[in-house]
Amino acid sequence: LSVSKNPAPRFVHARSGRFFCFSLYRRWLQYNIRPMTVTALLFASYAEAFGSDRVELSLDAGTTVRDAVARLRALPGGAGLPSTLLVAVNLEYADADQPLASGDEIAIIPPVAGG
Protein backbone atom coordinates (compact mmCIF):
# COMPACT_ATOMS: atom_id res chain seq x y z
CA LEU A 1 0.00 0.00 0.00
CA SER A 2 1.45 3.33 -1.04
CA VAL A 3 0.23 6.87 -0.54
CA SER A 4 1.16 9.67 -2.94
CA LYS A 5 1.31 13.29 -1.84
CA ASN A 6 -0.67 14.71 -4.77
CA PRO A 7 -3.74 16.95 -4.16
CA ALA A 8 -5.63 14.01 -2.66
CA PRO A 9 -3.99 10.92 -1.21
CA ARG A 10 -4.18 7.89 -3.49
CA PHE A 11 -4.27 4.51 -1.90
CA VAL A 12 -2.90 2.12 -4.49
CA HIS A 13 -2.03 -1.53 -4.21
CA ALA A 14 1.76 -1.83 -4.61
CA ARG A 15 1.73 -4.69 -7.15
CA SER A 16 -1.45 -4.23 -9.19
CA GLY A 17 -1.52 -0.44 -9.16
CA ARG A 18 -5.28 -0.51 -8.54
CA PHE A 19 -7.13 1.41 -5.90
CA PHE A 20 -7.13 -0.45 -2.64
CA CYS A 21 -10.64 0.26 -1.44
CA PHE A 22 -13.75 1.58 -3.20
CA SER A 23 -14.56 4.01 -0.40
CA LEU A 24 -11.08 5.49 -0.68
CA TYR A 25 -11.52 5.69 -4.46
CA ARG A 26 -14.78 7.62 -4.00
CA ARG A 27 -13.00 10.04 -1.68
CA TRP A 28 -10.26 10.50 -4.29
CA LEU A 29 -12.93 11.24 -6.91
CA GLN A 30 -14.45 13.96 -4.73
CA TYR A 31 -11.17 15.88 -4.85
CA ASN A 32 -10.35 15.19 -8.50
CA ILE A 33 -13.62 15.80 -10.35
CA ARG A 34 -13.14 18.73 -12.64
CA PRO A 35 -15.98 21.23 -13.07
CA MET A 36 -17.34 21.74 -16.56
CA THR A 37 -18.82 24.78 -18.24
CA VAL A 38 -22.16 24.62 -20.05
CA THR A 39 -23.80 27.53 -21.85
CA ALA A 40 -27.55 27.98 -21.41
CA LEU A 41 -29.20 29.85 -24.28
CA LEU A 42 -32.36 31.73 -23.32
CA PHE A 43 -35.07 33.08 -25.61
CA ALA A 44 -37.98 35.53 -25.44
CA SER A 45 -39.46 35.94 -21.93
CA TYR A 46 -36.77 33.70 -20.41
CA ALA A 47 -34.02 36.00 -21.70
CA GLU A 48 -35.91 39.00 -20.34
CA ALA A 49 -36.28 37.37 -16.92
CA PHE A 50 -32.53 36.66 -16.70
CA GLY A 51 -31.51 39.93 -18.33
CA SER A 52 -29.33 38.09 -20.86
CA ASP A 53 -29.72 35.70 -23.77
CA ARG A 54 -27.06 33.33 -22.40
CA VAL A 55 -25.84 32.15 -19.02
CA GLU A 56 -22.59 30.28 -18.34
CA LEU A 57 -23.06 27.48 -15.80
CA SER A 58 -20.20 25.83 -13.93
CA LEU A 59 -21.32 22.27 -13.16
CA ASP A 60 -19.81 19.06 -11.83
CA ALA A 61 -18.90 16.31 -14.27
CA GLY A 62 -21.75 13.89 -14.82
CA THR A 63 -24.43 16.56 -14.49
CA THR A 64 -27.70 15.98 -16.33
CA VAL A 65 -30.07 18.38 -18.07
CA ARG A 66 -32.32 18.22 -14.99
CA ASP A 67 -29.44 19.38 -12.77
CA ALA A 68 -28.58 22.25 -15.12
CA VAL A 69 -32.21 23.43 -15.17
CA ALA A 70 -32.29 23.27 -11.36
CA ARG A 71 -29.14 25.44 -11.29
CA LEU A 72 -30.85 27.92 -13.65
CA ARG A 73 -33.90 28.06 -11.38
CA ALA A 74 -31.64 28.94 -8.44
CA LEU A 75 -30.27 32.01 -10.23
CA PRO A 76 -31.91 35.44 -10.02
CA GLY A 77 -34.75 35.45 -12.54
CA GLY A 78 -35.02 31.68 -12.56
CA ALA A 79 -38.14 31.52 -10.41
CA GLY A 80 -40.23 32.36 -13.49
CA LEU A 81 -39.26 29.17 -15.32
CA PRO A 82 -42.18 26.71 -15.58
CA SER A 83 -42.00 23.26 -13.98
CA THR A 84 -41.68 21.50 -17.34
CA LEU A 85 -39.36 22.91 -19.96
CA LEU A 86 -38.52 22.06 -23.53
CA VAL A 87 -34.73 21.77 -23.69
CA ALA A 88 -32.32 21.13 -26.56
CA VAL A 89 -28.68 20.12 -26.13
CA ASN A 90 -26.37 20.98 -29.02
CA LEU A 91 -29.30 21.63 -31.38
CA GLU A 92 -31.17 18.39 -30.56
CA TYR A 93 -34.14 18.01 -28.22
CA ALA A 94 -33.06 16.40 -24.98
CA ASP A 95 -34.56 14.37 -22.16
CA ALA A 96 -34.13 15.55 -18.56
CA ASP A 97 -31.85 12.59 -17.77
CA GLN A 98 -29.41 13.23 -20.63
CA PRO A 99 -25.87 13.75 -19.31
CA LEU A 100 -24.02 16.92 -20.25
CA ALA A 101 -20.40 17.37 -21.26
CA SER A 102 -18.12 20.36 -20.96
CA GLY A 103 -18.77 22.87 -23.73
CA ASP A 104 -22.35 21.77 -24.40
CA GLU A 105 -24.98 24.36 -25.24
CA ILE A 106 -28.43 23.87 -23.77
CA ALA A 107 -31.29 25.89 -25.23
CA ILE A 108 -34.25 26.61 -22.97
CA ILE A 109 -37.12 26.88 -25.44
CA PRO A 110 -40.19 28.90 -24.43
CA PRO A 111 -43.71 27.81 -25.39
CA VAL A 112 -44.71 29.00 -28.82
CA ALA A 113 -48.26 29.73 -29.93
CA GLY A 114 -49.23 30.23 -33.50
CA GLY A 115 -51.99 29.92 -35.95
Low-confidence ranges of the chain (pLDDT < 70): 1-34, 114-115
CA distance 68 to 89: 11
* Single pTM value for the model: 0.68
**In this predicted structure, what is the pLDDT of residue 68?**
94
Nearest CA to 62 out of 24, 36, 23 is that of 36
Question: How many Å is the maximal CA-CA distance in the chain?
Answer: 70
Q: How far is CA 59 from CA 19, 56, 67, 104, 109, in A?
A: 26, 10, 9, 11, 21
**In this predicted structure, what is the pLDDT of residue 2?**
47
Over residues 77-109, the pLDDT tens digits come to: 998 888 889 999 999 999 999 999 989 999 999
**In this predicted structure, what is the pLDDT of residue 70?**
94
Q: How far is CA 76 from the centre of its chain?
A: 18
CA distance 34 to 9: 17
Structural Rg of the chain based on CA atoms: 19
28, 10 Cβ separation under 8 angstroms = yes
Task: Indicate the burial class of 75 (C-beta count within 10 angstroms; 0-12, 13-18, 19 or more).
Answer: middle
